[in-house]
Amino acid sequence: MCRWMAWFGQPLLIEELLFKTQHGIVDQSLHSRLGAEPTNGDGFGLGWYGSGDGPAIYRSVAPAWADANLRELAAHVESPLFIAHVRAAIGSPVQQSNCHPFRRGRWLFVHNGYLGGLHAIRRELMLAIDPERFPDVEGSTDTEIVFHLALTFGLEDGPIEALERTVGLIESVAGAHGIPDPVQATFGVSDGATLWAVRYATKGPARSLFASADVDTLRRLHPDNERVQRLTDEDRVIVSEPFSDLPGVWQEIPEATAVTVSHGGVLEERPFRPQAVAEADLAGAHNG
Amino acid sequence: MCRWMAWFGQPLLIEELLFKTQHGIVDQSLHSRLGAEPTNGDGFGLGWYGSGDGPAIYRSVAPAWADANLRELAAHVESPLFIAHVRAAIGSPVQQSNCHPFRRGRWLFVHNGYLGGLHAIRRELMLAIDPERFPDVEGSTDTEIVFHLALTFGLEDGPIEALERTVGLIESVAGAHGIPDPVQATFGVSDGATLWAVRYATKGPARSLFASADVDTLRRLHPDNERVQRLTDEDRVIVSEPFSDLPGVWQEIPEATAVTVSHGGVLEERPFRPQAVAEADLAGAHNG
Amino acid sequence: MCRWMAWFGQPLLIEELLFKTQHGIVDQSLHSRLGAEPTNGDGFGLGWYGSGDGPAIYRSVAPAWADANLRELAAHVESPLFIAHVRAAIGSPVQQSNCHPFRRGRWLFVHNGYLGGLHAIRRELMLAIDPERFPDVEGSTDTEIVFHLALTFGLEDGPIEALERTVGLIESVAGAHGIPDPVQATFGVSDGATLWAVRYATKGPARSLFASADVDTLRRLHPDNERVQRLTDEDRVIVSEPFSDLPGVWQEIPEATAVTVSHGGVLEERPFRPQAVAEADLAGAHNG
Amino acid sequence: MCRWMAWFGQPLLIEELLFKTQHGIVDQSLHSRLGAEPTNGDGFGLGWYGSGDGPAIYRSVAPAWADANLRELAAHVESPLFIAHVRAAIGSPVQQSNCHPFRRGRWLFVHNGYLGGLHAIRRELMLAIDPERFPDVEGSTDTEIVFHLALTFGLEDGPIEALERTVGLIESVAGAHGIPDPVQATFGVSDGATLWAVRYATKGPARSLFASADVDTLRRLHPDNERVQRLTDEDRVIVSEPFSDLPGVWQEIPEATAVTVSHGGVLEERPFRPQAVAEADLAGAHNG
């Protein structure tokens, strides 16, 4: 049920992490080890910051392992911050508008996990989206609803807080419908200047999520790995599932935790605590 | 902006009307003459009744003229009732879930035209859909909303009346938003036993729509056309745009008119008059 | 590296074997157990005999598990003889013209396996194809070359003999290039009236291949299985990999063996022995 | 049938010429004015030089006008030299391996036109391709054969001469088969440092081809056009069909002419004269 990765650091040819790393995200599309399913072949997406206004997204319904264009792009586009996602659809159609990352303005959003009992609560959740944004929902995934709820709750001002309110709302609506386990998620968010990631499940264990260790540690662990030796202190990777050629490099992000990766590779952790959203707040959000 | 055709009569290899007729629907995908645009290359769909439960649908994002599978199906599937649609997207993504026909149970639905000012009224219209059906909306077209509204208003009991209420609701909601010209449409509907078609625009002229003449007339007009001579009294075709090899055969369906084609080729016309839907009725529909 | 299945017997809704059987071919596209790879997600194809002239083929580059149209077709097309194939590409592009089955006139052809060292011998093999047929090669798979060689060597008059000559030629050309292990294959062939299957590898073990047992045996083994009880003496299935809900039902086809399934479910086995093709014969074939 | 364009000059966001110019190449995919057909909807391709090794290519079977990813790439990739092509298929399948540009190493190749009577001469032409390159032919277009012939005849050392020999060979083979009008073509070629274009038909008129005028002329003609005012002396565009917002800007390339655009915008014209290829030379090419 999906895998994702994000790079933030020195500008890099995207293929370095998508194709040239052992057990990178494209290999995980065919042979995931830690996911709920080994195959993530129901489309994929790549979002990157670079030339032009805001982030670019390339999304395709083909499996990532078989998409010739993805190899081309990855081999010819350099970026200091990019997010890739491979999808295992659970119910919703395999179509570009259901592929991650989702985007609004400078913001990108990816998700691994699901909303439990979505069929019963989809309408109520969509009604909580800012009416102005409602017509922007193009696909039929749970993730796109989460993204538009988070935008409604202020993602652009504070993504972690907005996601805490979003998850709080979902858990509250789901609770009213007797759904016991509504949120299973890792989220990745960026505005091109900062990268945020969240690991959370209403009822654990949450989907796996890892951050790369400090570069000093990496260099000491892999003195003969040329790619590692080229890394600088500014480089950081967040992944659903570790690349296999770099043992010892990965620190698991704890459950119910949000991390913020700032320019310069600085990584900060904080607890992720869903916030109840009062009806009044909801109305307020719509007027905000 | 889209073309469609429907056949109801003796079982026919679908290719007879899709590929072997001059200026048939597939040719119209490339060279429409009466449409708002000559090209209808943003996907297509084919729905047919035959073996198995309910109608089958084949939908693709490829242009109809270039889809090898469509040629295969058309050459190897026989059906007494089928509907084909070629799409010119206006704004919404080219994806299978946006291709017509839409289906529920035994029902198929196609549309040529648009809802004016949809962005402003999409949310309000979707809220009027029966909450039970709300999560079934998979794509992002205006047509799918119309279909689910009509289902909400009783399409399965009386499709013309349900569409009159649907159009009434849309015009009412649009009016409240100051949208002057909200509905431009021909609709095609079937349950496998009857075929209905509607031609209507809030502000005309409506998109073109034609029915084939009585078979006696056809035979007299085209005594040397082998295909026409094989037709029986039971055969009837409804088209957005006439096939060009059968001049004199087509009767234009008047504006604001609904036609019903019953088994045996019987065609009945009646006026199509949008019905106002009171808020109370709307609530009632949701409990119906 | 690919899985295939063929049905020959009473007319059946195709979904019975594609989707309703446990561990059917579509499930094998995602979770193959006996294949060289678990995933066969690089497109698929379905060929069937029924209405219209000759067999129909539906081929798609989407993974079989995710293709909505395949579910539609399977649920609405009945056929007494059909062949389905799921592909794991090894080198050649994922495109419809590389999906099996391949077709000429009434003939369908599928293959599981590969030609070793193809790059070195492709040109020489293609030169051995009847020059008249040469321009009909549309894709870039080894299988399409095998098919056109077999057509050149008389597939339409005797498919097993033609394949024996084809394999003989390939082994001879490969031998001259020092390729030790050129042919790894199971083949499926039909003209709509008979079904042939071959299991052979220059150097074993060959890819797996199974035939369903006599229906009497099946009925006795599965007295409570409604689907099995509906089978008649005329029904026979050939599969790369057994469906899992019918233990005891499958007889492995031995290595280097060809089977012929005739109308009425009669299955005959014979050895498959590659035949050397002399240069003179090759020239003769081109004039044949 | 087909349209292409090439840019060589200052690094430019690709969308400037693909989407922001009036009647640019993407508009020409839907509404070509000078082409044999108005619609070029059977796939497209974009090749560009920039980051990474050699040129990147993005090719898709979707119509260019409907491909969301093309808009993304065009809006986020800058390049000093890129070639775009929209395709109208004539016979060969709509698949990525049939989309232009074709590539080898640093070289890109596009074609507008066709080889007459290809079916009769395909085999003979493919036999003339360097046997080492033969297995690299992945698709089924005439263009890919032309490209591999030209590579065989020294494209990488002198593209115009190689194309003269290629066209000479084709005309000679076609002549032997009584094909009166074998070559109809404009070609575009680049290695990233120089851009070449050819306009030629065995029997005219050849497909249209234009080069942009000197920038001084452009600036004087369009003093108020901001885009034109940003152009430098180094910028040059070659197009099948002029962009409509720049009247007076385009100089038609004469029939049977080759042009070379060097760094700095220098454009040189010379006659294009097909060269007979002796059998002996052909053998020599294969040993070259």
How high is the pLDDT of residue A280? 54
Q: Tokens 């088969």, residue?
A: D177
- D113 vs D3: CA distance, rounded Å: 9
Residue of B nearest to C45 (CA): B69
Q: In chain C, which residue's Cα lies nearest the Cα of B15?
A: C52
Closest Cα partner for C88 from C138, C147, C136, C36? C36
- The burial class, CB within 10 Å (0-12 / 13-18 / 19+), for C178 is exposed
> Nearest to residue B44, comparing CAs of B65, B16, B71, B72?
B65
| For residue C281, pLDDT beyond 70 | no
* CA proximity to B110, closest of B156, B146, B158: B146
ipTM for this model: 0.93
CA distance D177 to A180: 76
Percentage of residues in chain A having pLDDT higher than 70: 95
B55 contacts B49 by C-beta, under 8 angstroms: yes
Q: Report chain C residues whose CB lies below 8 A from the CB of B52.
A: 13, 15, 75-78
Question: Chain D residue closest to A48 (CA)?
Answer: D76
- Condensed to tens digits (0 to 9), the pLDDT of residues C199-237 reads 999 998 999 999 998 888 878 877 887 777 888 888 999
| Residue A246 in this model has a pLDDT that exceeds 80 | no
Alpha-helical segments (H) within chain D: 15-18, 25-31, 68-76, 118-128, 142-152, 159-176, 215-221, 226-229, 279-287
Each residue of D126-158: pLDDT tens digit?
A: 999 999 999 999 999 999 999 999 999 999 999
Phi, psi of A253 (to 5 degrees): -80, 125
Which pLDDT value is given to residue C256? 98
Copy the structure tokens of residue D52: 């990474």
Output the pLDDT for position B94: 92
Instruction: Supply the mean pLDDT for chain C.
Output: 91
d(CA C107, CA C60): 19
- Window 65-94 of D, Cβ < 8 Å to A: 68-69, 72-73, 75-78
Judging contacts by C-beta atoms under 8 Å, the chain B residues touching residue C68 are 59, 96
The pLDDT score that the predictor gives to residue D288 is 42
Smallest CA–CA distance from A70 into chain D, residue: D58
Q: Residues with Cβ < 8 Å from D231, sequence gap 6 or more?
A: D9, D10, D215, D218, D219
C132 touches chain D (CB under 8 A): no
pTM of the model: 0.94
| Rounded mean pLDDT, D249-270 | 94
Residue of A nearest to D76 (CA): A52
Tell me the pLDDT tens digit for each residue of D106-129.
Answer: 999 999 999 999 999 999 999 999
pLDDT at A215 over 60: yes
Comparing CA positions, the residue from B121, B132, B237, B139 lying closest to residue B183 is B121
Residue type, A264: G
* Residue among A93, A118, A122 whose CB faces B97 most closely: A93
Task: Give the pLDDT score at D244.
Answer: 76
Of B174, B180, B181, B89, the C-alpha closest to B125 is: B174
CB of B177 within 8 Å of any CB in chain A? Answer: no
Do C138 and D97 count as a contact with CB atoms less than 8 A apart? no
Percentage of residues in chain C having pLDDT higher than 70: 95
Instruction: Please tell me which residue, C73 or D247, carries the higher pLDDT value.
Output: C73
HSE of D101, CA atoms in CB hemisphere, 13 A: 27
Whether C8 and C267 have beta carbons less than 8 Å apart is answered as no
- Give me the sign of the Cα torsion angle D156, D160, D161, D162: positive
From the list D13, D51, D59, which residue is nearest A78 (CB)? D51
D119 → closest Cβ in C92, C95, C135: C135
pLDDT for the residue A30 = 87
Residue of chain A whose alpha carbon sits nearest to that of B119: A135
- A 10 A CB-CB count for B54 gives 17
Contact call for C76 and B56, based on CB within 8 A: yes
Lowest pLDDT segment from B177-191, C8-22, D226-240: D226-240
Q: What is the pLDDT of residue D130?
A: 97
pLDDT per residue, tens digit, chain B (288 aa), is 699 999 999 999 999 999 988 888 888 888 888 877 789 999 999 999 999 999 999 999 999 999 999 999 999 999 999 999 999 987 889 999 999 999 999 999 999 999 999 999 999 999 999 999 999 999 999 999 999 999 999 999 999 999 999 999 999 999 999 999 999 999 999 999 999 999 999 998 999 999 998 888 878 877 887 777 888 888 999 999 988 767 778 999 999 999 999 998 899 999 999 998 765 556 555 544
Chain B contact for A60 (CB, 8 A cutoff): no
Q: Which of B53, B69, B96 sits opposite C58 (nearest CB)?
A: B69
Chains that touch D (3 or more CB pairs under 8 A): A, B, C
Report the distance separating Cα B122 and Cα B115, nearest Å. Answer: 10
Beta strands C183-190 and C195-201 are antiparallel
Q: Are D79 and D6 in contact (CB under 8 A)?
A: no
- In this complex, how many residue pairs, one in chain B and one in chain D, have their CB atoms less than 8 Å apart? 29
Does residue D42 sit at the B interface (CB-CB below 8 Å)? yes
Structure confidence by residue, pLDDT tens digits, C143-185: 999 999 999 999 999 999 999 999 999 999 999 999 999 999 9
Cβ pair D62:B61 closer than 8 A: yes
Mean pLDDT of A180-201: 97
Torsion of CA A154, A158, A159, A163, to 10 degrees: -60
Which residue would you say has higher pLDDT here, D262 or B213? Answer: D262
What is the spatial distance between Cα B5 and Cα B238, in angstroms, rounded to a whole number?
Answer: 6
Q: In the A/C pair of chains, how many CB contacts fall below 8 A?
A: 31
Which residues on C lie below 8 Å from A66 (Cβ)? 41-42, 89, 94
Q: How many CB pairs under 8 A join C and D?
A: 40
Is the pLDDT reported for residue D18 higher than 70? yes
The mean pLDDT value for D172-185 works out to 96
Cis, bond preceding D205 (omega within 30 deg of 0): yes
Which residue from C minimizes the CA distance to B45? C69
Rg (CA), chain D: 18
The token pair at C281 is 């014969």
Q: Give the one of B30, B42, B68 whose C-beta lies nearest to D66's C-beta.
A: B42
Inter-chain touch C93–D122, beta carbons under 8 Å: no
Count of beta carbons in the 10 Å neighbourhood of residue B165: 24
Contact assignment for A123 to B140 by CB distance below 8 Å: no
Closest-CA distance, C43 to chain A, in angstroms, reads 10
Q: What's the CA gap between C159 and C136, in Å, rounded?
A: 19
Report the residue from A15, A56, A96 with minimal CB separation from D76: A56
Q: Choosing among D44, D69, D82, which should be mutated to test the A contact, i.e. which has the most A CBs within 10 A?
A: D69
Q: How many residues does chain D have?
A: 288
Amino acid residing at B177: H
Chain centroid to Cα A71, Å, comes to 21
Which residues in C lie closer than 8 A to residue D134 (C-beta atoms)?
122-123, 126
**3-class secondary-structure state, position C225:** coil
* Cβ burial, residue A104 (10 Å; 0-12/13-18/19+): middle
DSSP state letters, A45-89: EEEEESSSSS-EEEEESS-GGG-HHHHHHHHH-EEEEEEEEE---
Check residue B149 and give its pLDDT: 98
Of B30, B68, B89, the CB nearest to D66: B89
Sorting pLDDT into bands at 50, 70 and 90, what band is D232? confident
d(CA C265, CA C263): 6
Indicate yes or no: CB of B52 within 8 angstroms of CB of C68: no
To test the contact with chain A by mutation, choose from C65, C70, C92 the residue with the greatest count of A C-beta atoms within 10 A, namely C65
Mutation for A interface: C42, C67, C72, most A CBs within 10 A: C42
